[in-house]
Structures are given as structure tokens and as C-alpha cells.
Amino acid sequence: MSATSAQPQPTEPQPAEPRSKALRAAFRGFAAIEKIGNRLLHPFWLFWILAAVVAVLSAVLAALGVSAVHPGTDEKIKVLSLLSRDGITMAVEGAVENYAAFPPLATILTVMFGIAVAERSGLFSALLRRMVARVPGRYLTFALSMTAMVSHVAGDAAYVTLIPLGALVYRAAGRSPVLGCVVAYVSISAGYDASPSLTTTDVLLSSISTAAARTIDADHVVTPVANYFFGLASSVLVALVITLVVDKVLARRPDLEPDEPVTALSADELKAIEVTPRQRRALRVTGLVALGYAALLTVAMIPTSSPLRGEHGGIVDSTLIGGTALVLGVFFAVLGTVYGRMTGTFSAARDIVSAMADGTRSMAPILVLFFAISQFLAYFKWTNIGNVLAVSGAETLRDLRLDGWTVLVGIAVLITLMNLLITSGSALWALAAPVFIPMLMLIGIEPETTQAVYRVADSVTNCVTPMSPYFVMALGFVQQYRKSAGIGTLASFTIPIAAVVWVVWIAFFVAWYLLGLPFGIG
């Protein structure tokens, strides 16, 4: 069995009756969420329905003469009807431009070209196996959780690779493989927006945030590294919290044993964990290339006259920061090419092109969704509903005289609940950013701060909602070791971890905000 081919066969989840009344009540709630969520249409259709709502609402508000005064320019902002001649012309003639100009479209594709090369070369799989193999038992949970934080750079492929790998390394250490599956799954999903390295999520969210911020400040740019410092610190924090909850609480559960007694790993299972000498050599050389790449960029940025710097030698507005998507794409493409050639995964230049093409094919569902999101956002912006809502919301918040951190925590609670039903991070942010970012900008809260609190709230409940396809995938892996496991079984592990992570991570965010620490660069 290999780590990448261990995808479970579809099985019908069997209900497991929890002992605790509180857990039974929680599971009934999750069953209701699942039932409601399963009735929701695909996000593609949801955004078209929202676009229709915007059209009708804009016509009504325009007829009523609804408007607001921009506090910065004293300009009167009127709601425009999308059903007017000008509105229909914009929607029809501007459809292609709306899609082509959608900020995340080109940036996410640029990064994915490189990530596809690294993933299909086998680099990510080998790196993850290397990070957790032969780790002393007392550090195993933290090592697996921290590996999951690093694996976010691989995107959704991390689930397929790391969950079965977690079960195997726990078995090799004489521990419950069920717990290994849980640790890997929760670490990937609950900490999805916490990573020690830049990921496609950084590029995607910052693009949406920039578009939202420019409704208030036409020159504002949210860079892909705007939350890097916070994300780096959060990755360690989340891994530590998961480790404490698992090792101090969940590891003491009496029902951790799988259906079959834990036995020594077979030769095939050992092969799935171990990294071959050839792969180890390739990883060492790839690591040196990565250091060389970073050193080259650093040296190139030293002269104040460097073309990679911004105007007047600036760093925040530099070409390097602005071109993060290309820098990341080239970085992963170079590493994947080096590793693939050394291990024999790539034997010719055409293999690299094929890897990029395969990566693009895997992006097809997202590209389809982006078309609907881009049209909805264009309509929302053109009608001025978002601007009027932001100004009115800001005035309400000022009248309430709430502290900034209380507003941000309130938004975190709302996003957390919304994420139970809308599990796509990009879709949810595309829906929330055009309202929250302008509104909070008008009361002095920077877009980078709003994006940071969103990332916390959007991550944690990923591991508890049955609406996530990866919840079902993780359950399938657990059922390989315990056939009677059901949704309730997995949720009884993930709920306590998610609850503690949410409280600690939000408290960490509030402390970071109150101390005035920079969330990142830019």
C-alpha cells in the first residue's frame, strides 16, 4: 500500500452512539447541518442566485432612492439598478472582462503551474514522509501536526497523502492508527490557513481582499505576504494545541483500538513510509537549490537601486512582492524539476509540461466557480450596494462605540458559522470580503487585519462539518481500521480539538491585534 494510492473505497458511514448527552445533542446538530447542507446547490449556482438577488434588490433600492455619503470624500453614493439599460449592458458586454479581470484567476493559475510540477515529481510526498518517519514517539503528534502545516503548500493533495501516512506512522510507533488519521486530518483542515510557508491560499485571498479594499481606497494593495508573520506563528501554535489536546486527553480514550490488533508494518507498508536513498539524496539537493533560490532573491534585493525593489527603493511596494505569484510558481517548478530529474520521475522536458497540464486540469472546477463569482462581484460592485452597506454598517459600529477587537471577534463567530455550510474558503471570502473589508476600513481596521481574522474563523470548523468532502474521506480512512466508525465517531474526536483550537487561536489573534504587531509585509 502506498501513501498516495490508499484512497478508501466508498463505504456507508455507520452511526456510533456517543455516551455523553452533550455529544448526542452536538451530533444531532451536525446531522441537521449535513441535511440542510446537502440540499444546497453547488456554489456555482448559489452565486448565480445571489446575482439574481442583487439584481432585484438593486432595482428596489434604486427606486427608493437609497444612498449614503462617503465619509472620506463626502460623495453621495447612490444604489444603481442592475435591471436598468446601463446595468444590463454592463452585465452582458462586460461578462468576459469581468471574468478576465477577476484578480485570483491568473495569479492562482501561475502558482499552480509550479506546484503541479513539484507535486507530480513526488517531491511533496517524499518530503512529508521524510518529516514524520523515525520521529521519537513522544514527539510524534507534534511532528505529524507540524508536517500537516507544511503540507498546506500542496493544497488538497495533502489530505490524500498525509491521512493514511499518519495512520501508518502511529502504527509503527505502537499507537492507535485511528488517532493517527485524526491528528493528520484535523491538523490539515483546522489549521488550513496557518502555514510556515506561502501557499496558493495567500495569493488567492489577497487578490480578493485587494479588490474589496479598492472600493474605499483605489490604490490599496493587500500583498500575498500580508499575513505571513501571523500565519507562521499560528502554524506552531495550532500544532502545539492539537498536540496537547490529543496527547493529554484523546489519547486516553478507552475506545482507540482498531478492529484488528495493531501489528508490525508489512514490507509494503514500510515502503510507503520510508524514503529511499535516492529520494533522500534528491531531497538534500532540492533543499540546497531552495536555499540558493532564496539567497539569490535576497542578494538581488540588497541594492536600493535593484529593479526588484519598488519606487524609491521600497520593499513593500517592490516588484518582488507584487510578483509573488510568479516567484512562487518558478520556485516550485524549479524544485520539482530538480527532484524529478534526480529520482527519474521526469526523464524529459516534455514531462514537466505534462505535469503543468495535469495541474491545470485539476483546477477546472475552480475555474468554473470563478466565472460565477466574478460576475456576482462585478454586479455587486457596479450597483454600489456593497458601498452603501459598508458605509451604513460603519456608521452603526461607530454609534455602538465597540472596540475594534470585539467587532473582529463578532465577525469571526459569523464566519465560523457560515463555514459549516460553505466550506470553500475562496467562495466564502468572495462573499464576505466585499462587505466586511470596506465596512471595517471605514472604522479604521486595515484589510490585512480583517483577512487575518477571517483565516482563523474559516479554518477551524473545516474539520467538524460533514459538508466537507474531506470529512468523508477522513472517515473512510478511519473505517479501514474500525469498520463500525461513523460520522459521530469522527466528530467526537474533531469537535473537542476544534473547540480548543478556536478559543486559543482567537485569543492569540486578539493579543496580536492589541499589541499592534504586524500581521505580515504590506
How confident is the model over 80-119, as pLDDT tens digits?
Answer: 999 999 999 999 999 999 998 887 788 778 888 888 898 8
**257 burial via Cβ count (<10 Å: 0-12, 13-18, 19+):** middle
3-state DSSP of 164-184: HHHHHHHHHCCCCHHHHHHHH
Instruction: Identify residue 494 by its one-letter amino acid code.
Output: T
User: What is the predicted pLDDT for the residue at 173?
Assistant: 79
User: What is the predicted pLDDT for the residue at 30?
Assistant: 52
User: What is the predicted pLDDT for the residue at 242?
Assistant: 95
pLDDT of residue 1 exceeding 50, the answer is no
Tell me, what DSSP letter sits at residue 101? T
Mean pLDDT, residues 251-271: 67
Digit-coded pLDDT (tens) for 307-345: 888 777 777 667 777 777 788 889 889 999 999 999 999
Of 172-181, 315-324, 390-399, 461-470, the one with minimum mean pLDDT is 315-324
User: What does pLDDT average to over the chain?
Assistant: 83
Is 427:369 a contact under the CB 8 Å cutoff?
A: yes
Digit-coded pLDDT (tens) for 31-83: 565 555 556 667 788 889 989 999 999 999 999 988 888 766 678 889 999 99
Nearest partner of 51 among 379, 369, 366, judged by Cα: 379
CB atoms within 10 A of CB 510: 17
Grid cell at residue 102 = 477577476
Ranges 190-204, 247-261, 402-416, most confident:
402-416
User: Given the C-alpha cell 449592458, which residue does it identify?
Assistant: 89
User: What is the predicted pLDDT for the residue at 335?
Assistant: 92
User: What is the predicted pLDDT for the residue at 3?
Assistant: 36
User: What is the predicted pLDDT for the residue at 259?
Assistant: 61
pTM exceeds 0.85: no
Angle between helix 177-190 and 228-248 (nearest 10): 160
User: What is the predicted pLDDT for the residue at 251?
Assistant: 85
Q: Helices (H) and strands (E) in the chain — how many of each?
A: 23, 2
User: What is the predicted pLDDT for the residue at 388?
Assistant: 84
Q: How far apart are the first and last CA of the chain?
A: 45
For residues 294 and 17, the model is more confident at 294
Nearest partner of 488 among 245, 255, 259, judged by Cα: 255
306: CB partners within 8 A, 6+ apart: 300, 313
Helix (H) or strand (E) holding 67: strand 67-69
Q: What percent of the chain has pLDDT over 70?
A: 86
3-state DSSP of 432-501: HHHHHHHHHHCCCCCHHHHHHHHHHHHHHHHHCCCCCHHHHHHHHHHHCCCCCCCHHHHHHHHHHHHHHH
Q: What percent of the chain has pLDDT over 90?
A: 32
Digit-coded pLDDT (tens) for 230-239: 999 999 999 9
Digit-coded pLDDT (tens) for 494-506: 888 999 999 999 9
User: What is the predicted pLDDT for the residue at 261?
Assistant: 65
Ranges 125-139, 157-171, 492-506, most confident:
492-506
For residues 360 and 505, the model is more confident at 505
User: What is the predicted pLDDT for the residue at 58?
Assistant: 93
Distance from C-alpha of 114 to C-alpha of 126, rounded to nearest angstrom: 17
pLDDT of residue 412 exceeding 60, the answer is yes
